[in-house]
Amino acid sequence: MIARRENTKDRLVEAAVELLRAAPGATLKIVLLNKALFYLDLCALRDRGETLTGSPYIALDQGPVVAKYKTRLVDELIERGFATQRDDGETREKPVTLTRKAPKAKLLDEYALEKAREIAKYFSKLTSKKASEISHQNPGWMIAYAEGRGRGNPPKPINMRIAMQEFAGTDPWLESEADPEFESAVAEAEKGPRIPW
């Protein structure tokens, strides 16, 4: 499903609701919710050519987060009555909890819902620190962080196409043996003209 600009806010809210719905206790710490959204968008970009939510991400010390996540994500969930955020003052984890049965997603299809369930299941088992460590291995975050917060500058946006390279080593075709048809296609391509650079 294409993340059209006019639906970005609604797509982000729906994606967050589905991630929360799939998490134990319908709760995710804010760091985990941000990471889950980032990886949900990366999966959609890899599988469909466009992110699911259309939301920009920036590189903070904790890893990738939705740009202006407090207003675009948390406040929007709270204003729509879908979630609350606890801030006990003792930790920075600020868990977000689904407060009522949100309406069925209108903008997300079965692919998006299934990915949200998979990703929520994975991230709900992690600590915020571990999720941040994982996201610090993302090449898009590394570049944006080095140019922004890493130099004491304001946070920089993450290039999602670069960020998607994190998945490059996980494609099954890289690990499976080539079939004869593929080998033949490669041999034929190698016969063609070579680009000089």
Full 3-state SS string of 40-90 = HHHHHHHHHCCCCCCCCEEEECCEEEECCHHHHHHHHHHHCCCEEECCCCC
pLDDT at position 80 is 94
The neighbouring-strand residues paired with 27 are 97
The predicted-structure confidence for 44-81, as pLDDT tens digits, reads as follows 999 999 999 999 999 999 999 999 999 999 999 999 99
Instruction: Express as a percent the part of the chain with pLDDT over 90.
Output: 71
108/67 Cα distance (integer angstroms) = 21
Residues whose CB falls within 8 Å of the CB of residue 109, separated by 6 or more in sequence, listed in order? 1
Tokens 């904790």 found at: 62
The separation between the first and the last C-alpha atoms of the chain, rounded to the nearest angstrom, is 37
Average pLDDT on 31-42 reads 97
Q: At 13, is the secondary structure helix, strand, or coil?
A: helix
Q: Is the pLDDT of residue 90 over 90?
A: no
Between 144 and 166, the more confident residue is: 144
Closest CA to 7 of 106, 112, 120: 106
Average pLDDT on 163-187 reads 70
Rounded to two decimals, the pTM is 0.82
Closest CA to 42 of 144, 164, 191: 164
Q: Yes or no: say if 33 and 16 are a contact pair by the CB < 8 Å rule.
A: yes
Q: At 60, is the secondary structure helix, strand, or coil?
A: strand
